[in-house]
């Protein structure tokens, strides 16, 4: 039997919790370990979310250490393939681009890149960069064999920059559903519906849109409850203080709760107990937010934003959920009202969402596709 091909996986792990490092943690603990000989270069920064993409001494030190460690890994492990997730803003991409160039120069390995973000790379980063940054981007991306993107609408982001582009939607482990979870949802009336949001509490994740929509919905349906779960970054980007002000001004303290980060059983309970999942994000780096497949796996209808990332490829409009335009609390409230008042619609949307999840967005399907791409490049 021939020896397994060697793959060096470069990536960060939680904490803090965000989509790309959750995905990477799932990847390195998946079936991929049985298919290939795996080594991991850990580039984690376990500090608070506020340090993401910031220029400070610790980030510079971590980046330099990671480049030195990469050189050693390439020499000792001698990989056949190097896997590198890439960012879409300058400071993180400077490090990622150096990973590509170092891997190309110091090894014969094929290089696969993976973008977990939306279209910001081209519109917000590459096209707006000065000529010397563009040159660095073109030079580094030109050394890669393949880049993996999250959806068909993102192929054009790297067109002309990377030789080959493969579409592989993210996948997750199915959320555990209470044995009688569906029956519980069927028995709920429009007076006791529960609405849920989960994500880091940046304003651009749509947190304030949810709170403002809640203020509208609760005038008509005062018994509805909202749960807004996620970490609150301790800097100017946090929406929690603004959200609290809206809640206090409208007397919504008993109707909107912020339980913080939910993991394990608490996360399962969150998805089991709510009836509608809302995620009106306009975050510019959003690609395929993992919370949406998580909600679909829990047989929940999803209300989200059609312009953001590849959300419109995940949520089938008016079939598995409702899509609205970004930054529109009024339309969000109207969509919530519609699903509150039509329980048979939300249950059917949840059922179809679960079916779509099982066909397209399971971790097993994702890993099978990643292995397929790895083998394609290696061969």
Say if CB 284 and CB 326 are below 8 A apart: no
- Kindly state whether residues 185 and 151 are assigned to the same domain: no
Count of C-beta atoms within a 10 Å radius of residue 267? 17
* 222 and 315 share one domain: yes
pLDDT recorded at residue 178: 46
- Structural contact between residues 57 and 82, judged by C-beta atoms closer than 8 angstroms: no
Query: Do the Cβ atoms of 307 and 326 come closer than 8 Å?
Result: yes
76 or 176: which carries more pLDDT confidence? 76
**Between residues 233 and 9, the one the model is more confident about:** 9
pLDDT of 181 above 60: no
> Is residue 69 assigned to a domain?
yes
Give me Rg for the CA atoms of the chain. 21
For 204, residues 6+ apart whose C-beta sits below 8 A from its C-beta are 237, 281, 282, 283, 284
Do 252 and 228 lie in one domain? The reply is yes
**% of the chain beyond a pLDDT of 70:** 92
Question: 247 and 347: one domain?
Answer: yes
Residue 176 lies in a domain: no
12 and 161 share one domain: yes
Residues 294 and 190 in one domain: yes
Contact (CB, 8 A) for 174 and 26:
no
Place of tokens 């529960």: 194
Residue 1 lies in a domain: no
Do 356 and 366 fall within a single domain?
no
pLDDT > 90 in the chain, percent: 82
User: Does 324 map to a domain?
Assistant: yes
Q: What sign for the dihedral angle of Cα 258, 281, 283, 18? A: positive
Domain containing residue 144: 6-171+362-378
φ and ψ at residue 159, rounded to 5 degrees:
-60, 130
Query: Are the beta carbons of 290 and 23 closer than 8 angstroms?
Result: yes
* pTM for the predicted model, two decimal places: 0.88
Mean pLDDT value of segment 133-155: 97
Same domain, 196 and 145: no
Q: Is residue 370 part of a domain?
A: yes
For 204-239, give the DSSP string.
Answer: GGTHHHHHHHHHHHHHH-TT-EEEEES---SSTTB-
CATH number at residue 252: 3.40.50.2000
Q: Are residues 163 and 186 in the same domain?
A: no
Q: Tell me: the pLDDT tens digits for 308-333?
A: 999 999 999 999 999 999 999 999 99
Do 223 and 349 reside in the same domain of the chain?
yes
Nearest CA-CA partner of 89 in 129, 60, 45, 36? 129
Q: What is the mean pLDDT of the chain?
A: 92
* Distance in angstroms (rounded) separating the CA atoms of residues 78 and 107: 7
Domain count for the chain, please give it.
Answer: 2
**353 in the same domain as 369:** no
Over range 300-310, report the average pLDDT.
Answer: 96
Same domain, 94 and 58: yes
């Amino acid at each position: 039997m021939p020896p397994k091909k060697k793959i060096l996986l470069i990536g960060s792990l939680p904490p803090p919790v965000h989509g790309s490092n959750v995905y990477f943690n799932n990847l390195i603990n998946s079936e991929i370990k049985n298919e290939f000989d795996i080594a991991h270069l850990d580039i984690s920064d376990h500090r608070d979310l506020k340090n993401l993409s910031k220029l400070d001494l610790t980030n510079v030190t971590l980046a330099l250490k990671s480049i030195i460690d990469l050189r050693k890994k390439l020499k000792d492990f001698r990989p056949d393939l190097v896997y590198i997730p890439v960012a879409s803003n300058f400071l993180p991409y400077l490090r990622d681009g150096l990973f590509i160039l170092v891997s190309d120069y110091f090894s014969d390995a094929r290089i696969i890149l993976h973008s977990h973000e939306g279209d910001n790379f081209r519109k917000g980063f590459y096209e707006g960069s000065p000529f010397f940054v563009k040159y660095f981007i073109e030079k580094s991306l030109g050394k890669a064999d393949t880049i993996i993107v999250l959806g068909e609408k993102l192929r054009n982001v790297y067109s002309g920059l990377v030789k080959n582009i493969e579409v592989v939607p993210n996948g997750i482990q199915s959320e555990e559903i209470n044995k009688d979870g569906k029956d519980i949802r069927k028995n709920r009336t429009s007076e006791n519906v529960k609405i849920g949001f989960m994500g880091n509490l940046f304003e651009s994740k749509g947190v304030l849109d949810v709170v403002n929509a809640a203020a509208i919905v609760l005038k008509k349906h005062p018994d509805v409850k909202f749960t807004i779960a996620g970490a609150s970054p301790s800097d100017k980007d946090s929406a929690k203080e603004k959200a609290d002000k809206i809640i206090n001004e409208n007397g919504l303290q008993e109707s909107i709760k912020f339980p913080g980060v939910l993991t394990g059983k608490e996360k399962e309970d969150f998805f089991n107990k709510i009836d509608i999942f809302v995620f009106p994000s306009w975050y510019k780096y959003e690609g395929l937010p993992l919370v949406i497949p998580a909600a679909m796996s829990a047989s929940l209808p999803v209300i989200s934003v059609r312009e953001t990332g590849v959300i419109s490829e995940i949520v089938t409009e008016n079939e598995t959920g409702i899509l609205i335009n970004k930054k529109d609390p009024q339309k969000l409230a109207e969509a919530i009202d519609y699903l509150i008042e039509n329980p048979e619609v939300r249950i059917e949307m949840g059922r179809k969402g679960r079916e779509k999840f099982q066909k397209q967005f399971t971790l097993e399907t994702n890993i099978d596709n990643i292995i397929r791409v790895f083998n394609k490049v290696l061969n």
